[in-house]
Structures are given as structure tokens and as C-alpha cells.
Chain A
Amino acid sequence: MNTYKKFIHIITSIILALAISACSKKSDPAPSFDESKLAPFSIEFDNIVGERTLVLDNVNNLYTNAKGEKFSISTLQYFISNVKLSTSTGETYTVNQDSSYFLIKGADRSTRFTKMRVPEGDYSKLTFTIGVDSLRSTMDISKRTGVLDPASGHAGMYWGWNSGYIFFKLEGNSPSISDDVNGDPTGNKKFRYHIGGFGGYSSPTINNVKTVTIDLTTAGVAKVRSDRQSNVHLFVDIMKVFNGSKAFSIAEHPSVMFSQFSTNVAQKLTEMFRHDHTEN
């Protein structure tokens, strides 16, 4: 063979070899499922409002809901708890309940990362609860620690008069709210949604505890390994509280707390969450 052709051959082989080695990523199979070997994992709750980022009290740049009402948000806080993960081969893991309560605060971006430890594995399904489950809600006060401490004054996520947690708190202002008794009589045009209700102690009451299940396969399975921090990045679209099916008007419902209508709002909470991507 002439030298030139041989040279091309070698170059091509080298290029091919490089190309092949570059394309085939190390296959990184999931390690065997072992509940005694826990690794870092987090779910990121990234709050947004429709097509826009969440900025609190943006009075000069208001959001608009499906009913055409303009509004700003002053407070956003919600509990996430009882996280459960499943692999595509059927192994499931429930995060230790005592460590599974998180309070996401719109005013503190650092709270958007819920960090926990789970077995190494490739997880394709994620389930969590919005709020605080009924079992914890009736436990002895010594089991209410950390974000569950009912005394946490600034968070204000506990009803003293009707023992139980506020699962989802959304407050803000809207020019569409009237100043009379049907709106906000203080004249501040403020809306307040304090959604709670775990079903009651001895006699049943409303139950607004909601669970959310997310399929991670489309936007990225979570590959949890001990040498990494796998992070499932969710967008939490607050606009979905107002919009979509059964959209409601802020002006007609400026204050929703422990009431029958709160079940309508609670149902919309599950619509807020979508999986954008996973960082492995």
C-alpha cells in the first residue's frame, strides 16, 4: 500500500477510535440497591409564576392571572414531606419520616433545595406530600421539631386555635380586591390563602393533604451515587393556583383559610409541580 494511503488509514483509525471512545460514555450502571448505604440527593423546588421568575412585592411589574387580575406576591411558604423514590426495577425507598419535612420559603432561595439521603440507584419516580400528614399532625409535641416547631413565629405556619399546620401559605396584593367586607376591609387590597386541614382528630374534617407523583424518565432519571449530589430540578408554578381548570378569581375569593373553598384551592396545588431536568 502506498505511504499516503497508509497514513490516511492510521489517521482515520485514530479519529474513529477517539470518536468511539468519546461517544460511548462510561455505562455507569446503578449499584445494587442497599438501604444501609445512603447517598446525597436533593429535590429543588424552584418557584416561578407563569412565564416569569418569582420576585416578591414586584408592585411595578405585576403578574396577571387567567381572569385578567393583576397581582404581586408578598409571602409564599409551603411544606414538603414524606418523600418516596422508586427505581424502574421496582425498588422503593421512603425517606425517614423525621428527616422528610421541609419548609420552602419564597423569601429565602436557599430553602428551595431539600436535601436528603437515599440509597444509591437510578430513580425514575418521585412522590412527595404537600403539607404535613395526619399522623404527624396528631403526634406529641416533642415530635414537632425543626420546621415543624409550632412556635416558629416568623414562619407562622401553625393554627393555634385549630391544632394543625398551614400547608401552603400565599399572600399578596391585587388592585382587583375591593375595600369592603367582601374584599379586604383594611383597604390594603391584600389576599391571603392559608391552606391546611389534615382531616381532624376524632371527628373527620376537611382533608387537604395532597400527594404529588412525578415521572422522572422523560426529563431525566435521578442517578444517585455516593460521590455526587443528584438534584431533581422541579419548577413550582404559582400561577397554576389561579389558572387552569377551575380557575378562580382573586377578587371573589380574597381570603381562603379553614373553609370549604380551601378544598378547591388545595386541589390546584398538585398542578404546580413539573420536572424540568435532573442534574446528576
Chain B
Amino acid sequence: MAVFVIACKKGSPIINEIEKFVGFQKPANFPEPVYNFANNPITKDGVVLGRTLFYDGRLSRDNTISCGSCHIQSSAFTQHGHDVSHGIDDRLGIRNSPPIMNLAWNKAFMWGGGIYDLDLQPFAPITAHEEMDESVENVMVKLRQTPKYADLFKKAFGSPDITTARFMKALSQFMLMCVSSNSKYDKVMRKENGASFTTDEMEGYAVFKNKCGTCHTEPLFTDGSFRNNGLGISTLNDKGLFDATLIETDKYKFKLPSLRNLKYTAPYMHDGRFLSLNGVLEHYNSEVITTQNLDPLLNGNRKGIALSATEKVKITAFLNTLNDEEFIKNPLLAEQ
């Protein structure tokens, strides 16, 4: 009996997406980016190379861990369900995987700072014992032995030579394209297609601006500063920014995260201690602890931020408008 095998014509939505590549675009409702694009212009081939590297396990000692292992697109480039990430050999780190999102507007990187130039960031996870446990030099040796990279580097940078600067800048080009700016909130702000908040969302927005907006400023929903938000100190005694600066007033300060895409990025805080938004909101309402350098905004007559049950519901409704499904599903950013 003859068996007819019908070969499915694989659709090429990804190729189409690349064909319409328009480069980095600043969303109309966002401020100017701070990354120095003049030193690293975004090109289609640069992004493709960067994406290939981002999802390549060769960046780790035993070739099993890629950036994409802990920065998963469906979780807005965090590691869903993991309070702290595990890297090579199942080693556990001490911090929660932050989203690769809107980095062109970041002045600082990492929960505890120390890195202020995106082109220099990958050195940290690549060389970290619990993450990829590799040397950047050895990664490049492996890349040179992998035939596809000669062509990818040539297309991106003009010649097949793999150098430290090119390697890092390619990764930056990919990461910079991870822009989340098409949530309902954004569409409302840009008055697109008659988008509008529901009553609950509208009221939530007002409460949010009043209670949270001083630190979680629009439209990035973070002011990028390092603050101590009154978390109880764990046995790890993680001092955050202090380790990178040795300045006493930096002890227990961590980088303020964006509130975009919270639907995808749980658990929350630098060590992922809160599994739900409710947990976070109740922390601000009743669990703020006076540790060294507690932020003045949380250290008033009434410690923390008073949030009634109704206010929490409304804030949650508003925060849901910051979830950006297009970001999660953008084929340009996906593992190929």
C-alpha cells in the first residue's frame, strides 16, 4: 500500500518578520533611551547573530546552559516559577532571574548593580560559578569551531573574525530589541484604536499613581534607582548594591524592577520570595521592616504603604494592563 506522505510546508512567519525588520524604534510614549547606539548600530544581521548566541548553550562550560535557559520568552525572559535560578550542574544562585526587557533605558544592570554598560553585562553570567561557569575566551574558541558563526559574524560585522567586542555587541543588539511597549496601558496612553481602561482599571491607575507611582514611575514603571523596600533580611544577608560599591548607605538596596509583565514574571523580589502579587502588596501594607537604609518613603509615621483590600484589587486590575502579550509572542525574539 502506497503511503502518501504529505510534507507540510513549514510556514515562514519568522523569515517574514526578519524581512520587515525596522531596527530599534523608540515607542512614542517612552523617553529617550540611554544606551549609546552610535557605538553599536542595530542591524538585522546583528540581531540575528545576537539571538543565535543568546540561545546557544555553548556559552556554558558543558554547553547545556544558554541565556535562554533562565531568560525564557514566555515568562517575559525570566525563569517562571523559580525563586532563584539554577544554572550548570543544577547549582543554585542567590537571585531571581530579572526580565530582559526595555534595557535600552537602563542606567544600571543586575539586582545589586555593579554593571552599567549593557555590552559588559554578559561577562557576569558567563563567568559565574553557579550560572554558566565558563570563560568568555573559551566561549569564543567554541564559536570559532562552530561553522555557522563565521557567516553570521561576517554578515553582522563585515568579516568572520570573532572578537570580544563583536560578541558582546551582538548580544546587546538582540537584548535591546526586547522592547515591551504594547500593553493595554501603552495603547491607552498612545490613544490607539480607541483603547480605554475599564472603570476598575481607571480607578486602579489613580490609586497606583498615588501609592506606588513615586518609585514605579511611568512609562517604564521603575525609576531605575536602588532602594531598600523593607524586606526582612534572609540568612544569606544579601547586601545588594553594597557589594559593588562598599558604601555603607547602599547596604540592602536593590534595583527597582519594572512592573510590566507581572503576569509572566512571578515570583517577585531579588530572591523571588513572593509568589504572588498579593504577597507583594501585603508586604507593603503590613510587613515592611526597618532595616539599615530603609527607604524614607516607607519609613513615615505609618511604616510601609497603607493598602485596603479594595485598593489592592484596584491596583491589581491596573497592573494587569501592563502585561504585553505581543512581547511574549514576538517571533523576532523567539528561540529558532
Contact = CB atoms under 8 A, between A and B. Distances in A.
Q: Do A and B come from one complex?
A: yes
Interface of A: 138, 140-142, 144-145, 149-154, 158, 160-163, 200-206, 258-260
B114 interface: yes
A262 to B, nearest CB: 9
Interface string B88-113: 00000000000000000001101000
B169 interface: yes
23 contacts: A138-B116, A140-B119, A141-B164, A141-B165, A141-B169, A142-B39, A149-B164, A150-B136, A151-B164, A152-B137, A158-B123, A160-B123, A160-B128, A161-B124, A162-B244, A163-B114, A163-B116, A163-B117, A201-B116, A203-B245, A205-B244, A205-B246, A260-B246
Main secondary structure of the interface of B (DSSP, over half): helix
A158 B137 CA distance: 12
B140 A151 contact: yes
Residue in A144, A150, A259 with the greatest tally of chain B CB atoms within 10 Å? A150
B34 to A, nearest CB: 11
Given A150-B164, A160-B128, 20 more contacts: A138-B117, A140-B117, A141-B119, A141-B120, A141-B169, A142-B39, A151-B167, A153-B137, A154-B137, A161-B114, A161-B115, A161-B244, A162-B114, A163-B123, A202-B107, A202-B116, A204-B247, A205-B247, A258-B243, A258-B246
Contacts of A260: 246
A199 to B, nearest CB: 11
Contacts of B169: 141-142
Contacts of A203: 245, 247, 250
A43 to B, nearest CB: 27
A169 to B, nearest CB: 15
Contacts of A162: 114-115, 243-244
A205 B113 CA distance: 12
B144 to A, nearest CB: 13
B320 interface: no
B198 interface: no
Contacts of B165: 141-142, 144-145
B168 A141 contact: yes
A206 B246 contact: yes
Contact size class for B? 20 to 34
Interface of B: 36, 39, 107-108, 110, 114-117, 119-120, 123-124, 126-128, 135-138, 140, 164-165, 167-169, 243-247, 250
A160 B167 CA distance: 15
Contacts of A151: 123, 135-137, 140, 164, 167
B135 A153 contact: yes
A207 to B, nearest CB: 11
Contacts of B246: 205-206, 258-260
A164 to B, nearest CB: 9
Contacts of B245: 200, 203, 205
Contacts of A140: 36, 39, 117, 119
Nearest to A142: B165
Contacts of A200: 245
Nearest to B250: A203
Contacts of B123: 150-151, 158, 160, 163
A260 B165 CA distance: 32
B137 to A, nearest CB: 4
Contacts of A154: 137
B105 to A, nearest CB: 15
B137 A161 contact: no
Nearest to B136: A151
